[in-house]
Chain A
Amino acid sequence: EVQLVQSGAEAKQAGESLKISCEASGYSFTTYWIAWVRQMPGKGLEWMGIIYPRDSDTRYSPSFQGQVTMSVDKSINTAYLQWSSLKASDTAMYYCARRQQLGPSDYWGQGTLVTVSS
């Protein structure tokens, strides 16, 4: 069974750093992209970017380039999304999803709620 399990909710102060995770199981981790999607409170879905675990090829949406960093650890089938200096506007739910090479994002994690206070 394909599963993506994300790390738990985080409450941080503005200016702090953060790394959240997405652990994959039930499929070959290195043969599918992992996408990250943001959902701000009461708003729609925003595509942040994707990473290919086999070679860490990463593509960011222009809106998120330079704001976040995506990475993977193939040895533990885990993808990461990190911030070096959080802002209050980073408060949102963040989802990871498995994305086929030229296909849909078919399996999703349960989401990680990040709350940043100023």
Chain B
Amino acid sequence: DIQMTQSPSSLSASVGDRVTITCQASQDISNYLSWFQQKPGKAPKLLIYDASTLETGVPSRFSGSGSGTDFSFTISSLQPEDIATYYCQHYESLPDTFGPGTKLDVK
């Protein structure tokens, strides 16, 4: 099975800050990676798929990049409503493993 790691596990930033989260796969997954946002008590929401494609309706301050084993997710200007936990997930082969998550809060 492909293992996914994320860093940092938690992050505190100020409104307006640029925030970056990284995700690493244990083997080459091409660009078969998605990023999810999960707010407390809510289902995960797909933000980015195929490593860098923004899901319809998702604000353009969110972006993703990378291929192979190393990926990153960026919020260009943090907004208060972005407080959530963010997960990466690969779908290169089954099982579709999730990363452990990055909890983001506002300073």
Q: Give chain A's interface residues, CB within 8 Å of chain B.
A: 35, 37, 44-47, 49-50, 59, 61-62, 95, 97, 99, 102-106, 108-111
Contacts and interface: CB of A to CB of B under 8 A. Distances in A.
Given A99-B91, A108-B43, A45 B101 contact: yes
Interface residues of B, number: 24
A50 B34 CA distance: 17
Given A35-B96, A44-B101, A47-B98, A108 B45 contact: yes
Nearest to B56: A106
Contacts of B49: 103-104, 106
- 8 A-B pairs with least C-beta separation: A104-B34, A104-B49, A108-B43, A61-B95, A45-B98, A44-B101, A47-B96, A47-B95
Contacts of B34: 104-105
Contacts of A47: 89, 95-98
B96 A109 contact: no
Given A95-B44, A104-B49, A104-B50, 7 more contacts: A45-B36, A45-B87, A45-B98, A62-B1, A102-B91, A105-B46, A109-B43
Contacts of B91: 99, 102-105
Which of A44, A102, A104, A106 is the most central at the interface, judged by chain B CB atoms within 10 Å of its CB?
A: A104
